[in-house]
């Protein structure tokens, strides 16, 4: 049995979606955010030294990092559906998008979000983050104008991992200039496993009660 240590309103919602997509036995252990700081509670440090989510646990093995968890679970349980065949032309592209989500794409959006929350005046970082956001969203929008999903016509685990990026971009009000990304987000939200994950995420979020 896989245990997902899930922090509400976090990137770990994608792992719920992935597990729902895989149809493997799993359980969720949910953690609530501190009502003042909105940070993860200290109990998560007992699971992993970083005290962050998502983390999965199975048979005494603990694995952190969204990208690693996604790559590991998809390859293990859905190598013929959510992962292009090894040796195919699509496989390197799949790996690129899988790692793009948590590397090049995530930092500028998170930086922009943190600057917005902080409200401090900056000399460099604000302009840098906005330019980088435009770069990554433009890149994705152009790619999706020629592809149904990130890897052509095949829906893959990379699309699940990328969902956080597109949702965050939408929440920050960026998608108005990127029609293909808006269509892509709508298509992601229509996926049955994504809808089940959203319902489960809300059920575990005590602040939404």
What confidence tens digit (pLDDT) does each residue in 5-31 have?
999 999 999 999 999 999 999 999 999
Q: What is the pLDDT of residues 76-122, one digit of tens each?
A: 999 999 999 999 999 999 999 999 999 999 999 999 888 888 888 88
Q: Are 70 and 11 in contact (CB under 8 A)?
A: no
- The runs of H, that is alpha helices, within the chain are 13-22, 66-77, 90-102, 106-118, 125-144, 157-171, 179-189, 192-204
- For residue 133, pLDDT beyond 80: yes
Name the one residue in this structure whose structure tokens are 């090894």: 86
- Tell me, what's the pLDDT at 206? 84
Q: How far is CA 109 from CA 10, 30, 57, 98, in A?
A: 14, 25, 29, 17
Has residue 66 got a pLDDT over 70? yes
Are the C-beta atoms of residues 3 and 62 closer than 8 Å to each other? no
Q: In what order do the strands lie in the sheet with 26-31?
A: 26-31, 2-7, 55-58, 61-64
φ and ψ of 111, to 5 deg: -60, -45
Average pLDDT of the residues in 38-64: 94
Q: Which of 28, 21, 149, 3 is nearest to 74 (CA)?
A: 21
Q: How far apart are CA 110 and CA 159, in angstroms?
A: 19
Give percent of the chain with pLDDT exceeding 70. Answer: 99
Predicted local confidence at residue 209, as pLDDT: 61
Residue 207 has pLDDT above 80, yes or no: no
pLDDT single digits (tens) 159-171: 999 999 999 999 9
pLDDT digits (tens, 9 = 90+) for 139-161: 999 999 999 999 999 999 999 99
Determine how many CB atoms are found less than 10 A away from the CB of residue 163. Answer: 22
Q: Point out which residues pair with 56 in neighbouring strands.
A: 4, 63
Mean pLDDT of 126-135: 93
Identify whether the C-beta of residue 165 lies closer than 8 Å to the C-beta of residue 101: yes
The contacts of residue 75 (CB under 8 Å, 6+ apart) are 83
CB 181 within 8 A of CB 169: yes
Residue 208 pLDDT exceeds 80: no
Rg for the chain, CA atoms, rounded: 17
Residue whose token pair is 């930092």 = 107
């Amino acid at each position: 049995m896989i245990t997902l240590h899930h922090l509400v309103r976090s990137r770990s919602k994608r792992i719920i979606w992935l597990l729902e997509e895989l149809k493997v036995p799993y359980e969720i252990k949910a953690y609530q955010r501190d009502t003042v700081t909105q940070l993860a509670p200290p109990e998560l440090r007992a699971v992993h030294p970083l005290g962050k989510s998502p983390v999965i646990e199975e048979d005494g093995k603990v694995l952190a990092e969204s990208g690693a968890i996604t790559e590991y679970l998809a390859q293990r349980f859905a190598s013929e559906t959510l992962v292009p065949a090894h040796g195919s032309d699509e496989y390197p592209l799949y790996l690129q998008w899988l790692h793009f989500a948590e590397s090049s794409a995530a930092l500028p959006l998170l930086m922009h979000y943190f600057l917005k929350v902080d409200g401090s005046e900056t000399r460099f970082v604000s302009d840098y983050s906005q330019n980088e956001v435009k770069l990554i969203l433009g890149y994705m929008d152009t790619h999706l104008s020629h592809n149904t999903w990130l890897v052509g016509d095949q829906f893959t685990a990379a699309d699940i991992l990328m969902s956080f990026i597109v949702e965050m971009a939408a929440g920050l009000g960026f998608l108005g200039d990127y029609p293909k990304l808006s269509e892509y987000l709508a298509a992601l939200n229509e996926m049955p496993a994504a809808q089940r994950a959203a319902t489960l995420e809300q059920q575990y979020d005590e602040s939404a009660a």
